[in-house]
Homo-oligomer: A and B are copies of this chain.
Amino acid sequence: MLYVVGIGSGSKLHITKEAEEVLKNVDLIVCYKNYKKYVERFNKPIYTTGMTKEIDRVEYALKEAKYKDVALVSSGDPTIYGLASLAYEINSIKNYNVEIRVIPGITAASLASSVLGSPLNHDFVVISFSDLLTPLSTILKRFEYALKGDFVICIYNPLSKKRKEPFLKAIDILKDFVKDVNYIIGIVKNAGRDNEEYLITNFEEFYKNLEKYLEFIDMNTIIIIGNSSTKIINNKMVTPRGYLNKYKIL
């Protein structure tokens, strides 16, 4: 049996009871090498590979899962930019016939939202800026439609030392929308972890100090761009759900 398990931030605080129980009971844990530290406490054999070795990791997990209970661990939720789909795909292509079960986890969008206040509290999009597997034109097209729809926008994998182009091109697109709205922007690094940091600003201030923000943002950062109603309340980023437009407060 293969369990594809989400562990949230990696902190003991953000794991569910279900994920905890599964990890206590499997025979083998398979994960990305930098996440080994989050699962060592379960005292199981651990197989790890590095970045871009996802196929290798999933194949190993599936092969072992023919005879054992294996947990393929993702941070956050395994169905949100995690390895659940790849497990289903390879299982079918290679005819492994392994039974697969997904154990959901708290995704980084929720963790980042809780740190910033409540920016996701209306319709939103989640979009990854990594162009390793998605053409840049698709990323930018989606970003533009998200802005046209006045969605709150939550960006995963915004930029790395080597990959700044998608982010900078998106900022150019955003600039064209700013004549109407000075978007509130929330930036959370290492959400839910010991070294968590966050900033809340608006587009104007962000753009003026772009270099400074580019230094701060990395691959473990989530960026949330508000919709046209998002505001700052007591230093928190809040997107109203709309109750106060409809009902009076006495």
Residues of B within 8 A of A21 (CB): 13
CA distance A198 to B119 in the complex (A): 30
CA distance A36 to B12 in the complex (A): 26
Among A6, A17, A88, A151, chain B packs the most CB atoms within 10 A around the CB of: A88
Does A218 interact with chain B (Cβ within 8 Å)?
A: no
**Chain B interface: which of A173-181, A204-212, A241-249?**
A241-249
Q: A110-B79, A118-B79 are in contact. Are A14 and B88 (CB under 8 A)?
A: no
CA distance A137 to B111 in the complex (A): 31
Contact B242 A134 (CB under 8 A): yes
Residues of B within 8 A of A25 (CB): none
Q: Which of B80, B146, B242 contacts A110 (CB 8 A)?
A: B80
Residues of B within 8 A of A104 (CB): 14, 106, 110-111, 113-114, 192
**Chain B interface: which of A26-34, A39-47, A91-99?**
A91-99
Does A196 interact with chain B (Cβ within 8 Å)?
A: no
Does A239 interact with chain B (Cβ within 8 Å)?
A: yes
- Show 6 residue pairs from A and B whose CB-CB distance is below 8 angstroms, ordered by the A residue: A8-B16, A16-B106, A85-B241, A91-B234, A102-B118, A134-B242
